[in-house]
Amino acid sequence: MAHQPKRSDTIVVQEFLAFVQQKLDVMDQVSLEQILVTSFTEEQIQEAKKVLADSAAEGRTWQKMQDIFKVENLETDPDDVPTFVVRDLHKLPAVTFDHVDVTRVLKDLVLLRADITNLRTKLENSEQI
């Protein structure tokens, strides 16, 4: 039986989409969108939408930046989206501290501390038994 290639096996050179694919997991969408609209031209964004429409799912169009985020995020099976790569790294915008949502980082830190405390308590309770 022949192995069916997945769309994720396809490599597509597209700086905008490669940046989105890599940063969506580590940045909030508002900050990411701010970087994208200030670092890429409208033509580059439209080209990215066209490439995504041509290579991801037939018959889909993307009108807004959030539509791209939906495809690149959990709302689409990762196997249905090609792997986007960058040819020239200098074309990618730098992510500076100005782009980081400090409130989100602090909330994540609080949740992480709570999880560690919970794990510590469970471990201590299991040792007492």
Cα-based distances in Å from 29 to 11, 46, 114, 115: 24, 18, 25, 25
For residues 21 and 54, membership in a common domain is answered with yes
Which pLDDT belongs to residue 69?
63
The residues, any chain, with a CB within 8 Å of residue 30's CB and separated by 6 or more, are 101
- Model pLDDT, residue 84: 86
Q: What is the structure's pLDDT at 74?
A: 41
Global pTM value? 0.64
Whether residue 86 sits in one domain with residue 32:
yes
Evaluate the CA torsion angle 24, 27, 33, 39 in order and state its sign: negative
Q: How many independent structural domains does the chain possess?
A: 2
Q: What is the dihedral of CA 51, 16, 68, 52, to 10 degrees?
A: 10
pLDDT at 49: 83
Residues 9, 60, single domain; the answer is yes
Q: Within this chain, do residues 102 and 72 fall inside the same structural domain, yes or no? A: no
CA 46 to chain centre: 18
Enclosing domain of residue 113? 96-129
Residue 12 host element (H or E): strand 11-13
Q: Digits of tens for pLDDT over the chain (129 positions)? A: 556 777 667 888 899 989 988 888 778 888 888 888 889 999 998 898 888 777 755 555 545 555 666 555 545 666 777 888 898 888 888 777 776 777 778 888 999 999 999 999 999 998 887
Same domain, 45 and 79: yes
- Whether residue 87 is found in the same domain as residue 101: no
Q: Between the CA of residue 91 and those of 33, 44, 52, 97, what are the distances in Å? A: 17, 11, 19, 19
66 and 32 housed in the same domain? yes
